[in-house]
């Protein structure tokens, strides 16, 4: 073990600006950095295999984790990378195949379908293969890079951008993941200046967006215009009071779909 703080970051495109400084800039060498899916980030934190991760907010709440304020992954309207594709009218969805990479996105789909369309489908996990998913279910949920590989305008099916749907429902931003860990570990990291290092890594990435676009479009085989648009127009990395208000509203609505009741005394704040 290196002795450096161990960080688990999501391997999707949307995390790239957050970690660019850790990979290529002044923050390089500050952390022992590894990449995985959102759900695996949460599992590694829970198992004590890392000190901090980009953790989906549903897992953050379930595990009782503490987050480092300031940066994360959110949207203020359409997000482009959380796409619900349906063979039927949303009100008639009875079965939903979901990419299980993030429990938060699955819960968001359930909240949207119930609150906006009155649907409460049976949900089961599936590999992110749209045609195979729709062979077995009325609708499919794609997240992350798998959703970005689908052009909604070219589909012969109806599709919902769940970021846009959330904004229509609540008027608030949607927060998907935050830098989070066990409370004691996060307190140690904050005392050592980790918050500044995380913010600095993001600032380094933002200042080098041309470099990110060129590198990631080539590595992931995405159109460069899509990469630039996604990272500069759709994804929000700054987590402020409105983002946290949206997060609290998401927790409130999600709680009614779970056995766990909503506790208004446990809302998050800056």
> Any idea what the CATH number is for the domain that residue 66 is in?
3.40.190.10
- pLDDT tens, residue by residue, 25-72: 999 988 999 999 888 999 999 999 999 999 999 999 999 999 999 999
* Number of domains into which the chain is organized: 2
Residue-wise pLDDT tens digits, 206-247: 999 999 999 999 999 999 999 999 999 999 999 999 999 999
In the predicted structure, residue 152 carries a pLDDT above the cut 90: yes
**pLDDT value at residue 269:** 47
Q: How far apart are CA 180 and CA 193, in angstroms?
A: 15
Residue 3: predicted pLDDT: 78
Classify residue 118: in a domain, yes or no. yes
Residue 200 is predicted with a pLDDT of 96
Question: What pLDDT, on the 0 to 100 scale, is given for residue 227?
Answer: 98
Indicate if the alpha-carbon torsion angle 208, 214, 215, 219 is positive or negative. positive
**Which of residues 114, 139, 170 is at a domain's end?**
170
CA pair distance 102, 53, nearest whole angstrom: 13
Domain that holds residue 162: 82-170
Q: What is the mean pLDDT of residues 117-146?
A: 95
> Do 195 and 64 belong to one domain?
yes
Structure token digits, residue 10: 């999501």
Give the integer Cα–Cα distance in Å for 111 and 128: 21
131 burial via Cβ count (<10 Å: 0-12, 13-18, 19+): exposed
Is 1 within a domain?
no
CA–CA–CA angle 94, 97, 101 (5° rounding): 140
Q: Report the alpha-carbon distance of residue 266 to residue 71 in Å, rounded.
A: 20
Average pLDDT over residues 143-159: 95
Counts for the chain of helices (H) and strands (E), in that order: 12, 11
Please tell me the predicted confidence (pLDDT) of residue 259: 55
Quick check: is 94 in a domain? Answer: yes
> How far apart are the C-alpha atoms of 141 and 95, rounded to whole Å?
11
- pLDDT for residue 1 is more than 70: no
- Would the pTM count as exceeding 0.85? yes
Asked if residue 164 and residue 179 are part of one domain, the reply reads no
The separation between the first and the last C-alpha atoms of the chain, rounded to the nearest angstrom, is 33
State the DSSP code for 221: T
Q: Using the 3D structure, point to which of 170, 198, 229 is the last residue of a domain.
A: 170
Query: For residue range 8-20, what is the model confidence (pLDDT) as tens digits?
Result: 999 999 999 999 9
Residue 179 and residue 148 in one domain? no
Q: Which is more confidently placed, 229 or 1?
A: 229
Domain for residue 188, yes or no?
A: yes
The strands making up 158-161's β-sheet, listed across from edge to edge, are 122-125, 95-98, 139-143, 82-86, 158-161
Among 139, 170, 201, give the residue marking a domain's end: 170
């Amino acid at each position: 073990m290196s002795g450096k703080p161990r960080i688990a970051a999501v391997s999707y495109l949307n995390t790239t600006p957050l970690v660019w400084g850790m990979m290529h800039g002044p923050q390089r060498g500050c952390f022992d950095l590894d990449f995985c899916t959102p759900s695996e980030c949460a599992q590694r934190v829970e198992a004590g295999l890392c000190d901090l991760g980009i953790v989906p907010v549903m897992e953050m709440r379930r595990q009782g984790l503490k987050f480092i304020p300031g940066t994360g992954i959110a949207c203020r309207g359409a997000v482009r990378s959380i796409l619900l594709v349906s063979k039927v009218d949303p009100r008639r969805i009875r079965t939903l195949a979901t990419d299980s990479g993030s429990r938060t996105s699955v819960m968001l789909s359930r909240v949207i379908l119930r609150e906006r369309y009155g649907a409460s489908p049976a949900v089961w996990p599936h590999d992110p293969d749209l045609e195979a998913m729709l062979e077995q279910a009325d609708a499919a949920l794609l997240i992350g890079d798998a959703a970005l590989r689908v052009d909604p305008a070219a589909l012969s099916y109806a599709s919902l951008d769940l970021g846009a749907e959330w904004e229509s429902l609540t008027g608030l931003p949607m927060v998907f993941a935050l830098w989070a860990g066990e409370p004691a570990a996060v307190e140690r990291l904050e005392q050592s200046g980790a918050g500044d290092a995380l913010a600095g890594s993001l600032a380094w990435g933002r200042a080098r967006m041309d470099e990110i676009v060129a590198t990631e479009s080539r590595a992931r085989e995405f159109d460069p215009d899509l990469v630039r648009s996604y990272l500069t127009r759709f994804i929000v990395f700054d987590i402020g009071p409105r983002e946290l208000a949206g997060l609290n509203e998401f927790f409130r609505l999600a709680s009614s779909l779970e056995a766990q009741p909503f506790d208004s005394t446990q809302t998050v704040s800056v």
